[in-house]
Amino acid sequence: MTTTVLTALLVFPIGMFIIGSGFVGYAIYKLNQSTGRRYLAEAAFGIFALLPAVRVFAAINPSGYSVCCAIPLFLVFVIVISRCIKAATPALSTDQQRRLVNYLLAAEVVLIALICIPLPTQRTATLETSWGAVHLKPEEAAVAQQVLDFMTEQKRQRRQVAVVPEAPMFYAFAGTEAPSRWFTLLPGLLSPAQEDIYIADLNASGPDYILVTGRRTHEYGADYFGIDYNKKVYQWIESNYRVVGKFGRFSRDENSSPMAALLYEKIGTVHADRSADK
């Protein structure tokens, strides 16, 4: 809670987009009053800062999307705060105002450092792959290792494993290929006609197993594969495959692990070497 409050009010304040809009508006106003290039540069920089910020609008956060999208807007915020401090302390000398601004900016840096300190629950574990070491949360690393071991064993047995809707790096780690040129499925990626083509690709390749990962893709406006998007593909899987196990804590709610997956086996085949938890 403390981190959330500090982030929202002091470090990456909600409404930073509005502050940036005010910065641009003031620069344009001053540009109309004079011909100084300074205000032209400020207006141009402010517009540049606002364009990528449209993606996240007023809810600027230090995580949840590529934070680099907010850096220009954050610089505008720092400039505005600096000017507000100077305007609020007219009785101070220029040197005193500058020192005050520097003190407050230093405090801002300290706050940014504090919210970036990893929590004890954010410790990582190492997943060793053919591509090198990957650092994940301990639970996710354990599940990823199980999935990788399973796919590697199936490759040895000359059996194909498809992974939907995402986590395509497992193909690379296991040295296998996706059953279609669409190696990942995200909300809005496939049109209804392309779903039919994707299903035809699955029919043609006939993978022995299909792993259905359960990460919630709320950032795309659709939460779960087969429920909120790509329903036709999921119905085909349900009609031709049966659930025989799972990896990790799979559930379509907030309690599910992002790395969790259901293991589907093609109906009519039985293999004795499945290693997923049932």
Distance in angstroms (rounded) separating the CA atoms of residues 65 and 258? 16
Contact 144, 32 (CB under 8 A): no
Give this prediction's pTM.
Answer: 0.60
| 64-117 tens-digit pLDDT | 555 556 778 888 888 888 888 888 888 888 888 888 888 888 887 887 777 777
Residue 254 pLDDT greater than 80, yes or no = no
Contact 262, 150 (CB under 8 A): no
The number of CA neighbours under 13 Å toward the Cβ of 1 is 0
Greater confidence (211 vs 124) lies with: 211
DSSP 244: E
What is the separation, in whole angstroms, between the first and last Cα of the chain? 37
Q: What band does 278 get if pLDDT is binned at 50, 70 and 90?
A: very low
pLDDT given at position 59: 58
Closest to 171 (Cα-Cα) out of 154, 183, 187: 183
Phi, psi of 263 (to 5 degrees): -105, 120
Contact 247, 146 (CB under 8 A): yes
| 12-71 tens-digit pLDDT | 677 778 888 899 999 999 888 887 788 889 999 999 888 876 765 555 555 555 555 677
The residues near 77 (Cβ < 8 Å, ≥ 6 apart) are: 13, 16, 19, 20
Burial of residue 278 (number of CB atoms within 10 Å: 0-12, 13-18, 19+): exposed
Phi, psi of 164 (to 5 degrees): -135, 150
DSSP 122: G
| H or E, element range at 246 | strand 241-247
pLDDT given at position 101: 84
Residue 263 pLDDT greater than 90, yes or no = yes
The residues pairing with 265 across neighbouring beta strands, listed in sequence order, are: 209, 242
Closest to 262 (Cα-Cα) out of 270, 198, 277: 277
Radius of gyration of the chain (CA): 26
